[in-house]
Chain A
Protein backbone atom coordinates (compact mmCIF):
# COMPACT_ATOMS: atom_id res chain seq x y z
CA UNK A 1 0.00 0.00 0.00
CA UNK A 2 0.98 3.64 -0.17
CA UNK A 3 3.42 4.87 2.45
CA UNK A 4 2.38 8.51 2.22
CA UNK A 5 0.05 10.85 0.41
CA UNK A 6 2.55 11.35 -2.41
CA UNK A 7 2.25 7.64 -3.20
CA UNK A 8 -1.37 8.11 -4.17
CA UNK A 9 -1.64 6.87 -7.76
CA UNK A 10 -2.54 10.18 -9.37
CA UNK A 11 -1.05 9.12 -12.71
CA UNK A 12 -3.29 6.05 -12.77
CA UNK A 13 -6.33 8.14 -11.88
CA UNK A 14 -5.59 10.80 -14.53
CA UNK A 15 -4.69 8.17 -17.11
CA UNK A 16 -7.95 6.40 -16.39
CA UNK A 17 -9.87 9.65 -16.74
CA UNK A 18 -8.29 10.17 -20.17
CA UNK A 19 -9.57 6.72 -21.15
CA UNK A 20 -13.00 7.80 -19.95
CA UNK A 21 -12.88 11.03 -21.95
CA UNK A 22 -11.77 9.11 -25.04
CA UNK A 23 -14.55 6.53 -24.69
CA UNK A 24 -17.12 9.29 -24.10
CA UNK A 25 -16.08 11.23 -27.20
CA UNK A 26 -16.10 8.15 -29.40
CA UNK A 27 -19.57 7.16 -28.25
CA UNK A 28 -21.14 10.62 -28.14
CA UNK A 29 -19.88 11.72 -31.56
CA UNK A 30 -19.34 8.50 -33.48
CA UNK A 31 -21.64 6.09 -31.71
CA UNK A 32 -18.82 3.60 -31.28
CA UNK A 33 -17.64 1.64 -28.27
CA UNK A 34 -13.97 2.13 -27.35
CA UNK A 35 -13.27 -1.57 -26.96
CA UNK A 36 -9.77 -2.20 -28.20
CA UNK A 37 -10.11 -5.90 -28.95
CA UNK A 38 -13.25 -5.15 -30.96
CA UNK A 39 -11.68 -2.27 -32.85
CA UNK A 40 -8.73 -4.49 -33.81
CA UNK A 41 -11.05 -7.34 -34.81
CA UNK A 42 -12.72 -5.05 -37.31
CA UNK A 43 -9.53 -4.39 -39.29
CA UNK A 44 -8.39 -8.00 -39.50
CA UNK A 45 -9.16 -9.85 -42.73
CA UNK A 46 -12.61 -11.35 -42.74
CA UNK A 47 -12.94 -15.05 -42.14
CA UNK A 48 -15.63 -17.46 -43.19
CA UNK A 49 -17.47 -17.44 -39.89
CA UNK A 50 -17.24 -13.74 -39.11
CA UNK A 51 -20.63 -12.48 -38.10
CA UNK A 52 -22.43 -11.25 -41.16
CA UNK A 53 -23.99 -8.38 -39.21
CA UNK A 54 -20.67 -6.58 -38.91
CA UNK A 55 -20.20 -6.06 -42.61
CA UNK A 56 -16.91 -4.38 -43.18
CA UNK A 57 -16.97 -1.19 -45.18
CA UNK A 58 -14.06 1.07 -45.99
CA UNK A 59 -15.68 3.76 -43.85
CA UNK A 60 -15.73 1.35 -40.92
CA UNK A 61 -12.15 0.25 -41.44
CA UNK A 62 -10.89 3.81 -41.84
CA UNK A 63 -12.05 5.07 -38.43
CA UNK A 64 -10.65 1.94 -36.80
CA UNK A 65 -7.25 2.48 -38.40
CA UNK A 66 -7.30 6.15 -37.38
CA UNK A 67 -8.15 5.24 -33.80
CA UNK A 68 -5.40 2.61 -33.66
CA UNK A 69 -2.87 4.95 -35.25
CA UNK A 70 -3.88 7.58 -32.69
CA UNK A 71 -3.32 5.08 -29.89
CA UNK A 72 0.19 4.21 -31.05
CA UNK A 73 1.06 7.89 -31.50
CA UNK A 74 -0.57 8.87 -28.19
CA UNK A 75 1.40 6.16 -26.39
CA UNK A 76 4.65 7.35 -27.92
CA UNK A 77 3.85 10.96 -27.14
CA UNK A 78 3.03 10.13 -23.52
CA UNK A 79 6.22 8.12 -23.09
CA UNK A 80 8.33 10.94 -24.56
CA UNK A 81 6.61 13.65 -22.59
CA UNK A 82 6.40 11.87 -19.27
CA UNK A 83 9.39 9.63 -18.93
CA UNK A 84 11.51 9.93 -22.06
CA UNK A 85 14.51 12.00 -22.70
CA UNK A 86 13.60 13.30 -26.11
CA UNK A 87 15.38 11.54 -28.95
CA UNK A 88 17.76 9.61 -26.71
CA UNK A 89 15.41 6.66 -26.72
CA UNK A 90 15.66 5.92 -23.04
CA UNK A 91 12.66 5.65 -20.83
CA UNK A 92 13.21 6.30 -17.18
CA UNK A 93 10.78 7.38 -14.53
CA UNK A 94 12.52 10.06 -12.47
CA UNK A 95 9.53 11.78 -10.96
CA UNK A 96 8.11 9.81 -8.09
CA UNK A 97 4.50 9.99 -9.23
CA UNK A 98 5.21 8.55 -12.65
CA UNK A 99 4.71 5.06 -13.86
CA UNK A 100 7.54 3.45 -15.74
CA UNK A 101 7.61 2.45 -19.37
CA UNK A 102 9.07 -1.04 -19.69
CA UNK A 103 11.49 -1.69 -22.54
CA UNK A 104 11.12 -5.44 -22.13
CA UNK A 105 8.87 -7.86 -20.27
CA UNK A 106 10.02 -10.38 -17.70
CA UNK A 107 7.86 -13.14 -19.24
CA UNK A 108 9.51 -15.65 -21.57
CA UNK A 109 8.79 -15.46 -25.29
CA UNK A 110 6.81 -18.68 -25.04
CA UNK A 111 4.66 -17.27 -22.24
CA UNK A 112 4.05 -14.11 -24.27
CA UNK A 113 2.94 -16.14 -27.28
CA UNK A 114 0.60 -18.33 -25.24
CA UNK A 115 -0.78 -15.29 -23.43
CA UNK A 116 -1.30 -13.45 -26.72
CA UNK A 117 -3.17 -16.40 -28.26
CA UNK A 118 -5.38 -16.69 -25.17
CA UNK A 119 -6.11 -12.96 -25.09
CA UNK A 120 -6.86 -12.85 -28.81
CA UNK A 121 -9.16 -15.86 -28.70
CA UNK A 122 -10.77 -15.00 -25.34
CA UNK A 123 -11.65 -11.43 -26.24
CA UNK A 124 -13.13 -12.62 -29.54
CA UNK A 125 -15.31 -15.25 -27.89
CA UNK A 126 -16.22 -13.05 -24.93
CA UNK A 127 -16.85 -9.96 -27.09
CA UNK A 128 -14.52 -7.66 -25.24
CA UNK A 129 -11.58 -6.91 -23.01
CA UNK A 130 -10.71 -4.58 -20.17
CA UNK A 131 -11.78 -1.51 -22.14
CA UNK A 132 -14.92 -2.76 -23.87
CA UNK A 133 -16.38 -4.64 -20.91
CA UNK A 134 -14.53 -3.01 -18.02
CA UNK A 135 -15.09 0.62 -18.99
CA UNK A 136 -17.78 0.97 -21.65
CA UNK A 137 -19.88 -2.03 -20.62
CA UNK A 138 -19.83 -1.44 -16.87
CA UNK A 139 -20.25 2.29 -17.54
CA UNK A 140 -23.55 1.50 -19.24
CA UNK A 141 -24.44 -0.85 -16.38
CA UNK A 142 -24.46 -3.87 -18.68
CA UNK A 143 -24.85 -7.02 -16.61
CA UNK A 144 -23.00 -9.04 -19.27
CA UNK A 145 -19.99 -6.76 -19.04
CA UNK A 146 -20.04 -6.75 -15.25
CA UNK A 147 -20.05 -10.55 -15.17
CA UNK A 148 -17.32 -10.72 -17.85
CA UNK A 149 -15.15 -8.22 -15.97
CA UNK A 150 -15.50 -10.03 -12.64
CA UNK A 151 -14.71 -13.31 -14.43
CA UNK A 152 -11.54 -12.17 -16.16
CA UNK A 153 -10.31 -10.31 -13.07
CA UNK A 154 -10.83 -13.38 -10.91
CA UNK A 155 -9.19 -15.74 -13.39
CA UNK A 156 -6.29 -13.31 -13.87
CA UNK A 157 -5.81 -13.02 -10.09
CA UNK A 158 -5.84 -16.81 -9.70
CA UNK A 159 -3.35 -17.10 -12.59
CA UNK A 160 -1.04 -14.59 -10.90
CA UNK A 161 -1.42 -16.48 -7.62
CA UNK A 162 -0.22 -19.68 -9.27
CA UNK A 163 2.53 -17.83 -11.13
CA UNK A 164 3.95 -16.08 -8.06
CA UNK A 165 3.10 -18.32 -5.14
CA UNK A 166 2.83 -21.86 -6.46
CA UNK A 167 5.14 -22.33 -9.44
CA UNK A 168 7.58 -19.55 -8.58
Chain B
Protein backbone atom coordinates (compact mmCIF):
# COMPACT_ATOMS: atom_id res chain seq x y z
CA UNK B 1 0.00 0.00 0.00
CA UNK B 2 2.80 2.37 0.98
CA UNK B 3 4.51 2.05 -2.41
CA UNK B 4 1.25 2.21 -4.36
CA UNK B 5 0.33 5.47 -2.63
CA UNK B 6 3.78 6.87 -3.44
CA UNK B 7 3.28 6.03 -7.12
CA UNK B 8 -0.30 7.36 -7.28
CA UNK B 9 0.66 10.57 -5.50
CA UNK B 10 3.50 11.03 -7.98
CA UNK B 11 1.19 10.48 -10.94
CA UNK B 12 -1.31 13.03 -9.63
CA UNK B 13 1.44 15.50 -8.86
CA UNK B 14 2.99 15.26 -12.33
CA UNK B 15 -0.41 15.49 -13.99
CA UNK B 16 -1.32 18.50 -11.87
CA UNK B 17 1.93 20.27 -12.70
CA UNK B 18 1.33 20.02 -16.46
CA UNK B 19 -2.40 20.81 -16.26
CA UNK B 20 -1.84 23.83 -14.03
CA UNK B 21 0.60 25.58 -16.35
CA UNK B 22 3.43 25.62 -13.80
CA UNK B 23 5.68 23.94 -16.37
CA UNK B 24 5.51 26.96 -18.69
CA UNK B 25 8.24 29.49 -17.80
CA UNK B 26 6.42 32.17 -19.80
CA UNK B 27 3.33 31.82 -17.62
CA UNK B 28 5.49 31.74 -14.48
CA UNK B 29 7.31 34.88 -15.60
CA UNK B 30 3.99 36.60 -16.36
CA UNK B 31 2.76 35.64 -12.89
CA UNK B 32 5.88 37.11 -11.28
CA UNK B 33 5.80 40.26 -13.44
CA UNK B 34 3.65 42.18 -10.99
CA UNK B 35 4.72 45.61 -12.24
CA UNK B 36 4.16 44.71 -15.89
CA UNK B 37 1.54 42.66 -17.71
CA UNK B 38 0.68 40.66 -14.61
CA UNK B 39 -1.12 37.37 -15.22
CA UNK B 40 -2.53 36.03 -11.95
CA UNK B 41 -3.42 32.55 -13.27
CA UNK B 42 -0.78 30.66 -11.32
CA UNK B 43 -1.99 32.06 -8.01
CA UNK B 44 -4.82 29.58 -8.49
CA UNK B 45 -2.37 26.68 -8.49
CA UNK B 46 -1.21 27.25 -4.93
CA UNK B 47 -4.74 28.39 -4.08
CA UNK B 48 -6.29 25.19 -5.44
CA UNK B 49 -3.70 23.04 -3.72
CA UNK B 50 -4.26 24.73 -0.37
CA UNK B 51 -8.02 24.54 -0.84
CA UNK B 52 -7.67 20.76 -0.76
CA UNK B 53 -4.62 20.21 1.41
CA UNK B 54 -5.41 22.54 4.29
CA UNK B 55 -8.81 21.05 5.24
CA UNK B 56 -7.45 17.54 4.69
CA UNK B 57 -4.59 18.25 7.06
CA UNK B 58 -6.65 19.85 9.80
CA UNK B 59 -9.60 17.45 9.54
CA UNK B 60 -7.88 14.13 9.00
CA UNK B 61 -4.13 14.27 9.54
CA UNK B 62 -3.55 16.46 12.55
CA UNK B 63 -5.62 14.38 14.96
CA UNK B 64 -3.99 11.12 13.89
CA UNK B 65 -1.17 9.60 15.86
CA UNK B 66 0.28 7.84 12.84
CA UNK B 67 -0.37 7.68 9.12
CA UNK B 68 -2.47 4.88 7.63
CA UNK B 69 0.36 2.97 5.90
CA UNK B 70 3.45 4.00 7.83
CA UNK B 71 4.75 4.26 11.38
CA UNK B 72 5.06 7.99 11.79
CA UNK B 73 4.58 11.39 10.24
CA UNK B 74 7.82 12.79 8.87
CA UNK B 75 7.16 16.45 9.50
CA UNK B 76 9.84 19.07 9.85
CA UNK B 77 10.72 19.69 13.47
CA UNK B 78 12.31 23.01 12.60
CA UNK B 79 10.38 26.04 13.78
CA UNK B 80 12.96 28.78 13.93
CA UNK B 81 13.10 31.33 11.16
CA UNK B 82 16.85 31.40 10.71
CA UNK B 83 19.49 32.57 8.30
CA UNK B 84 19.76 29.32 6.28
CA UNK B 85 16.01 29.44 5.65
CA UNK B 86 16.09 33.05 4.48
CA UNK B 87 19.25 32.76 2.38
CA UNK B 88 18.06 29.47 0.91
CA UNK B 89 14.65 30.87 0.01
CA UNK B 90 16.27 33.95 -1.53
CA UNK B 91 18.67 31.86 -3.65
CA UNK B 92 15.77 29.70 -4.76
CA UNK B 93 13.72 32.80 -5.64
CA UNK B 94 16.60 34.17 -7.67
CA UNK B 95 16.87 30.95 -9.67
CA UNK B 96 13.10 30.64 -10.08
CA UNK B 97 12.81 34.21 -11.30
CA UNK B 98 15.74 33.76 -13.66
CA UNK B 99 14.46 30.70 -15.53
CA UNK B 100 10.78 30.51 -14.54
CA UNK B 101 11.02 26.88 -13.52
CA UNK B 102 11.16 25.18 -10.13
CA UNK B 103 11.79 21.56 -9.04
CA UNK B 104 8.25 20.11 -9.36
CA UNK B 105 7.55 21.37 -12.88
CA UNK B 106 11.08 20.36 -13.94
CA UNK B 107 10.55 16.72 -12.90
CA UNK B 108 7.05 16.63 -14.44
CA UNK B 109 8.53 17.88 -17.75
CA UNK B 110 11.40 15.39 -18.05
CA UNK B 111 9.60 13.15 -20.56
CA UNK B 112 8.12 15.93 -22.67
CA UNK B 113 10.92 16.12 -25.22
CA UNK B 114 12.27 19.42 -23.97
CA UNK B 115 16.05 19.27 -23.67
CA UNK B 116 16.19 22.65 -21.89
CA UNK B 117 14.43 21.04 -18.92
CA UNK B 118 17.28 18.54 -18.64
CA UNK B 119 19.88 21.31 -18.60
CA UNK B 120 18.06 22.95 -15.72
CA UNK B 121 17.40 19.63 -13.97
CA UNK B 122 21.01 18.42 -14.06
CA UNK B 123 22.26 21.81 -12.87
CA UNK B 124 19.70 21.65 -10.06
CA UNK B 125 20.96 18.21 -8.97
CA UNK B 126 24.51 19.52 -9.06
CA UNK B 127 23.54 22.57 -7.00
CA UNK B 128 21.83 20.36 -4.46
CA UNK B 129 24.65 17.82 -4.28
CA UNK B 130 27.70 20.07 -4.22
CA UNK B 131 26.09 22.51 -1.90
CA UNK B 132 26.16 19.81 0.73
CA UNK B 133 29.82 19.95 1.45
CA UNK B 134 31.28 22.83 -0.48
CA UNK B 135 29.70 25.99 0.77
CA UNK B 136 27.78 25.90 4.02
CA UNK B 137 26.58 23.41 6.51
CA UNK B 138 23.63 23.75 8.77
CA UNK B 139 24.33 23.09 12.41
Q: Give chain A residues whose Cβ lies under 8 Å from the Cβ of B109.
A: 75, 101
Which residues of B, 3-49, contact A by the 8 Å Cβ criterion?
Answer: 3, 5-27, 29, 32-36, 38-42, 44-49
User: Does the CB pair A72–B108 fall under 8 Å?
Assistant: yes
Which residues of B, 65-110, contact A by the 8 Å Cβ criterion?
Answer: 66-76, 78-81, 84-104, 107-110
Q: Give chain B residues whose Cβ lies under 8 Å from the Cβ of A36.
A: 13, 102-104, 107
Interface footprint category on B: 35 or more
Instruction: Give Cα A50–Cα B107 distance, bound, in whole angstroms.
Output: 23
User: Does the CB pair B76–A120 fall under 8 Å?
Assistant: no
Q: Give chain A residues whose Cβ lies under 8 Å from the Cβ of B54.
A: 139
Nearest CB in chain A: distance from B130 CB, A: 8
Interface assignment of A56: CB less than 8 Å from any CB of chain B: no
B12, B86, B136: residue with the most chain A Cβ atoms closer than 10 Å: B12
User: Does the CB pair A76–B76 fall under 8 Å?
Assistant: no
The 8 Å CB contact of A124, one of B12, B18, B127, is: B127
The 8 Å CB contact of B116, one of A19, A22, A27, A105, is: A105
Count of chain A residues with a beta carbon within 8 Å of a chain B beta carbon: 115
Q: Evaluate whether A30 and B5 lie within 8 angstroms (CB atoms) in the complex, with A116-B120, A119-B127, A130-B102 already known.
A: yes
Residues in chain A within 8 A of chain B (CB atoms): 1, 9, 11-34, 36-37, 40-41, 44-45, 47-51, 62-64, 66-79, 82, 89, 91, 99-107, 109, 111-127, 129-131, 133-140, 142-144, 147-149, 151-161, 163-165
Residues in chain B within 8 A of chain A (CB atoms): 1-3, 5-27, 29, 32-36, 38-42, 44-54, 56-57, 60-61, 64, 66-76, 78-81, 84-104, 107-117, 119-133, 135-138
Given contacts A105-B116, A152-B89, 4 further A-B contacts (CB under 8 A): A37-B103, A62-B6, A70-B13, A161-B34
Q: Which 7 A-B pairs have the closest CB atoms?
A: A70-B10, A126-B88, A120-B127, A15-B20, A116-B123, A16-B48, A159-B97
